[in-house]
Amino acid sequence: MDASRALDFRMDIIELISKVQEFPDAEIDDPSRVYQSSNKYFADGPRLHEFLRGMRKEVVDKYGTITVGEMPYVYGEDQIPRVVHLETGSPNTIFTFEHTEVDSIPGESEWSLHKWKIQEVKRITNRLQRLMIEKDDWSSTSCETTITSSRSQKYEAFDFIAV
């Protein structure tokens, strides 16, 4: 690819480029589940911001492009501004995914289902948009990407309707 002709760079699951180097096993939070949450060891790792700043300096800034970071494990109101802030972040904007999990049982697979209300999506979106305004940052909303389960496939498989 000729980067001098690019308009933007999309960085898929970019928050996975830095991991806790001891590679510990996940704690057992729920003994009834086969798999436990371990994202605190492989997402938003200790060198993430160093790597993002390096990519901005060595590649992105040379071409004046816009960068979009796909970050499914970045949720916290302290995490997002560190990633996308103009002064410190690498991506100009990120895709957040909290709203895509509103129909999943908390702590379970994205393929799990529970009933939900559209107001939950509105609450999440409003909270994130207000955060971006307050912090002078920029986020994007995406309903599906290659890393999220297809909503149509999910609902087709379970014959489930939101109320």
- Report how far residue 6's alpha carbon sits from residue 76's, in angstroms, rounded to the nearest whole number: 31
- Residue 71 inside a domain? The answer is yes
Residue 151 confidence class, pLDDT cut points 50, 70, 90: low
- Residue 153 inside a domain? The answer is yes
| Mean per-residue pLDDT over the chain, rounded | 79
What helix, strand, coil percent values describe the chain, rounded to 5? 40, 10, 50
Beta bridge partners of 8: 66
Residue 21, domain CATH: 3.20.20.80
List 12, 98, 108, 120, catalytic entry: 12
- Strands (E) across the chain are located at 8-11, 66-70, 93-96, 139-141
- Residue 136 inside a domain? The answer is yes
Cβ neighbours of residue 92 under 8 Å, at least 6 residues apart? 66, 67, 68, 84, 86, 138
- Report how far residue 162's alpha carbon sits from residue 113's, in angstroms, rounded to the nearest whole number: 10
What tokens appear for 86 in the block? 């103009």
- Residue 123 inside a domain? The answer is yes
- Residue 38 inside a domain? The answer is yes
- Residue 163 inside a domain? The answer is no
What is the percent of the chain where pLDDT is above 70?
78
pLDDT tens-digit readout, 47-97:
988 998 888 888 888 887 788 888 888 777 777 877 876 666 678 888 888
List 8, 15, 25, 70, catalytic entry: 70
The pLDDT, as a whole number, for residue 119 is 93
- Residue 127 inside a domain? The answer is yes
Q: Is the pLDDT of residue 158 over 70?
A: no
Provide the 3-class DSSP secondary structure of residue 96: strand
What tokens appear for 162 in the block? 């939101």
- Report how far residue 17's alpha carbon sits from residue 50's, in angstroms, rounded to the nearest whole number: 11
The distance of Cα 135 from the centroid of its chain, to the nearest Å, equals 18
Contact 90, 53 (CB under 8 A): yes
12 has catalytic annotation: yes
The pLDDT, as a whole number, for residue 91 is 84
78 has catalytic annotation: no
> How many domains in the chain?
1
- Report how far residue 139's alpha carbon sits from residue 154's, in angstroms, rounded to the nearest whole number: 26
Mean pLDDT, rounded, for 95-106: 82
Tell me the residue range of the domain where 95 lies: 3-158
- Residue 58 inside a domain? The answer is yes
